[in-house]
Structure 1
Amino acid sequence: MMRVGRIERYVMGRVLGSVGAALAVISAVILLVEFVDLSRTVGVRVDVGVGQVFWLTLLRSPSLIQILLPFVFLFGGIGAFVGLNRRSELVAMRAAGVSAWRFILPSAGAAFAIGVLAIVALNPLAAALNGRFEAERGQLMQNYLGDIPQDIWLRQGDERTQIVIHAKTRDTVQGYVRLRGVSLFIYTKSPTGAPIFRQRIEASEARLMPGFWQLKDVREATAGESSVHSDTLSIRSTLDAESAMERFSSPEAISFWRLPDAIRLTEQAGFSAAGYRLRLFQLLATPLLYAAMSILAAAFSLRLARLGGLAGLAGAGVALGFVLFFFNQFAGALAKAGIIPLFAAAWAPAVVALLSGLSLLFFTEDG
């Protein structure tokens, strides 16, 4: 059983403090870069003040920070262990017979726990703020983009029916999704699974209520029959307001808790849910990735300072972190293209980082 004594708590505290400092620095850089980008893309097109741009920056930044959190643990861990090494504290610990595993594993465990907290709490918060960012930016840019076509396509369905929904514009009124200039193409599934066109419905407006679409100024046209006009019509819906809005969002903008429903509804509608499944697997691998980055940071920082080459080794650790980041993006692209399995693409970066750190530690500590 791993014992967390005074030495372990001291090293863990130094590592977490350094991780906090790295988080502050990276967050400040993200805020600055995002503020400049929004000032360039939004501020020069619509009449907004500095306060509004900064508010949009605050809404957008948590999702960007979440992407770079593995670097926070890598940079913070390297900074902490290099500092302990340069002050000869690691030398004193190891001379007293303390194995490096005693103070590395508690830090890795803390990183794993923070990873769990990140996916169950930080990710939903970042997704919610990102959704609000998209909505507020869309409202600000509405007049600027007013002349540009904004066709909307949705799809819903179950085991028997598929409905393709096309609309010219969309907006959100009192929490409800409202579409204008709506066309619904209704298909039934044959025994072989092939879609059979059954009906087309035109409506001036469609509002998504809990469990159904409320249509206004409706004209129904069935194959081989004359059209029928009605003032209102209700059609059962398998979507809710949040899942409908998620169809306009990337998988990264959907919270961890909403991903299983997004996968189910997307597959029911006949679409591929590969992007959502990949995102879910990546989030599940997040705690292991954070722990692996913590171990990797220690592995590149334990070389005795008097032997020289510590700065070069730490720099190699930083470079390997960037390599793992691009490897993660590359594996995700291959998975979305169907070349490699989604599960392997999501877990491979974390496993490679963990095995790299453990291999280097075994070589350093045990020869």
Structure 2
Amino acid sequence: MIPFPGATLFRYLSRVYGLNLLALSFILIGIVALFDLIELLRRAAKYEDVGFPLVLRMEFLKLPELMMTIAPFAVLFAGLFTFWQLSRRQELVVLRSSGVSVWQFLTPVVSVALLVGVLIVTILDPISAAFYSRYDVLEKTYLKREKSNVIALFDEGFWLKQMTDKGHAILHADRIEMPDWRLHDVMILFFDENDAFTERMDSPSAQLKSGNWLLKEAVLNVPGYPFRKSAQAMIPTNLTLNDIEESFSAPQTMGFWSLPSYIETLDATGFDSTRLRIHFQELLALPFLFASMIFLAACVAMRQSRQGGSFSFILIGVVAGFVVFFMSNFLQALGVSHQLPIFLSAWSPAMLSTLVGVSILLSLEDG
């Protein structure tokens, strides 16, 4: 059993690491946000109607998502800096010589990392999802200049709004049959450019093929005219199956608390929820990933305290952070492509990093 550190030591190490984490987070988010703002300004320079205030607003809406991205690096670098700071001031030497084990002085730092992870998942992630959804709309409207297609999925069925030559159309289907992408009990409402209703089309089934919605046994109702039946009708669209699938699986737009119910809705209507399931498991694993970053930081700090060399200390820490980052992305891609189970895809980075860190610390402690 690992002895719990004294209250004074716990508070001191927690405060030192917490302040370092806060400072490094501000520095990293400032650097990343500055480069991202420059990129947005470059893209906005093509359009005269996109001014600097709008670009600043877009960058502000994107900030929480950037914080989510840099959080693991901030945790790792703050851990590296904290242990380097303690080592430089000979505090680590004093702690070790007084009988404090590596596990005892790691406990406060790991506790702070776990707490930060929980706060990010439960508070920052929902805020990030809400902000990024708005940013995505602004980006498509002003920078990508895409036509406004809106796709939504509810318990009541599938809804889609797409632009047409004469205005826009709203499509509704009660259910979707996969993998053929056959929509059942379809209703399409047509509106002109002034949002005035023009006509309605009903069909027992429809499919998206070659840039058209193909409706079987369609019935067209135009106000003031008798309804017309057709064995087959075609509605042009600029949407593809990939566009629709991607709109349902964009993790950045779904908050932690909304994910479980939305995943259930996707499964009930036949859509592939793998990407969102992986994202949900990654959020659950995030506090433990942060803890593993502390173990890796402690490994680097303890080895370098024995061998010396500040440059190699920094270099090894940066390399460790990027290895974990790229490993996470690689395993996520394997999970999305169904080549790796969802649990392993999401939890492997945290588990492997922890195993490596703890193994090295055990060898250093016993050695």
Question: 1:309 and 1:157 mapped to 2: Cα distance?
Answer: 60
**How many correspondences in the alignment?**
329
The one-letter amino acid paired with 1:114 is V
State the match for 1:168 in structure 2: 163
Q: Cα 1:3–1:180, aligned 2, differ >3 Å: closer, same or farther?
A: same
Unpaired runs of 5+ residues, structure 2, are 205-215, 225-243
- Whether contact under 8 Å (1:152, 1:168) holds in the other structure is no
Contact in 1 for aligned 2:277/2:342 (Cα 8 Å): yes
Q: Normalising by structure 2, what TM-score?
A: 0.79
Q: Which residue number in structure 2 is paired with residue 220 of structure 1?
A: 202
- Whether 2:3 is the aligned partner of 1:15: answer no
RMSD of Structure 2 on Structure 1 (CA): 3.3
Mapped pair 1:182 → 2:165: no
Inter-CA distance 4–259: structure 2 relative to 1 (3 Å threshold): farther
Displacement, 1:271?
0.9
Aligned counterpart, 1:83: 85
Give the aligned partner of residue 358 of structure 1. Answer: 358
CA distance 1:336–1:217, shift in 2 (3 Å):
same
| Percent identity of equivalent pairs | 28
The match for 1:176 is none
Name 1:272's counterpart in structure 2: 272
Amino acid of the structure 1 residue aligned with 2:188: E
Q: Is the 8 A contact 2:285 2:346 kept in 1?
A: yes
Structure 1 residue 261 displacement after superposition: 1.8
Say if 1:11 and 1:168 are closer, same or farther in 2 by CA, change over 3 A: same
Match of 1:55 in 2: 57
For residues 33-54 of structure 1, give each alpha carbon's deviation from its aligned partner in whole angstroms, at most 9, with x where no partner exists.
1110110112432423323212
Contact in 2 for aligned 1:165/1:182 (Cα 8 Å): yes
Secondary structure in 2 matching 1:202? strand
- Does the CA contact (< 8 Å) of 1:46 and 1:140 recur in 2? no
Distance, in Å, in 2 between the alignment partners of 1:4 and 1:265 is: 49
8 Å CA contact retained: 1:285, 1:347: yes
Letter in 2 for 1:182: I
- The alpha-carbon distance between structure 1 residues 140 and 248, as it changes in their structure 2 partners (threshold 3 A), is farther
**TM-score with structure 1 length normalisation?**
0.79
Q: Is the 8 A contact 2:121 2:286 kept in 1?
A: yes
Q: CA offset at residue 308 of structure 1?
A: 2.4
1:97-246 aligned at under 5 Å gives the runs: 97-141=99-143, 145=145, 165=160, 167-168=162-163, 180-184=168-172, 199-205=185-191, 217-221=199-203, 227-229=220-222
Quote the Cα distance in structure 1 between the aligned partners of 2:90 and 2:183.
Answer: 76
Partner letter of residue 300 of structure 1? V
Which residue number corresponds to residue 39 of structure 2?
Answer: 37
Q: Report deviation, 1:354.
A: 0.9
Q: Residue 43 of structure 1 contacts residue 53 of structure 1 at CA under 8 Å; is this kept in 2?
A: no
Distance change >3 Å, CA 24–CA 187, structure 1 → 2: closer
Shift of 1:346: 0.3
Q: CA deviation at 1:365?
A: 1.1
| Cα gap change, 1:155 to 1:168, in 2 (>3 Å) | farther
